[in-house]
Structure 1
Amino acid sequence: MQQPEIDNLINSLKRLLLDTTLINIPDFNNKELIEAKSHSDYFYIDLNKQGRRLKRYTLQLRAKRKKELPLLRLDLVGPDHPNPPGNFPFAGEKIPCPHIHIAKEGYGDKIAYPLNSETAGLYLTEEELEDFIQVTKKFLDKCNVGNLSTYSFNTQQEQFNI
């Protein structure tokens, strides 16, 4: 996929397609799939808490027609991500979790950025990182979901540190 198409998919205004006004944050070792639509494309938004680590939570945005390529992926817990060499911010650097992957032509989702970097633009405080609802809202905002205010969120928030 070429960069203008990637950028257009990420930046297009989307609306969630749910039968309810409640977004369930998955429990430990579960996942949820939310569908969304822009003017011309359909999307999947994955909320994934599967894995051995209790605090693990990964969110990603995928275009339905290219569902194998995450456009955005937020990793809350995991190992440092070694970025490949290249001509982009943080090239060749190891990026600690939490971080966000943003699709780039020629690299797919292999590039990670610190959340508080200008490139990522996903500023989350330490307090917000402890709250799955706040993380989800910020991620959906980053995905450019326009009808987010019509939804409420439900989670069984576990009490622990990253």
Structure 2
Amino acid sequence: MRALIQRVRRASVDVEGRRIGAIDHGLLALIGVEKGDSEARADKLLHKLLHYRIFGDAEGKMNLDLQQTNGGLLLVSQFTLAADTGRGLRPSFSSAAPPDEGERLFAYLVEQARSRWPNVATGEFGADMQVELVNDGPVTFLLET
């Protein structure tokens, strides 16, 4: 699994003009599910999402995690993160999980996140989503499991 995470001051996701998820300060995590991913990889990714130290402490150093800052977590499925961009000028999605498996693992990740953290919002798997964010920093990392 891959997650492109961005430290945000706020973020939201709309589907068909309707706001379906929003957070104030915290993490926006765009999630890509690849062939061969599993619940164990989702669990490992969730651990990183909740404990990755990218928020500033009193001295401005990245020493605090999402839980220590009481931040929100916005999870948005994005199969394009599984693209192979190594050759040519058109991405290949041969490494992406099939849609039903991607949806199952994304739903598992969301379920586990909600059982461990109270402030979780999501997009809608497979929908045409409009995501808005104010990147704080900017701070952006690619996490892989």
What is the TM-score with the length of structure 2 in the denominator?
0.27
Larger RCO, structure (CA 8 Å, separation 6 or more): 2
Please state which structure has a larger fraction of its residues in helix.
2
What is the TM-score with the length of structure 1 in the denominator?
0.25
Please state which structure has a larger fraction of its residues in strand.
2
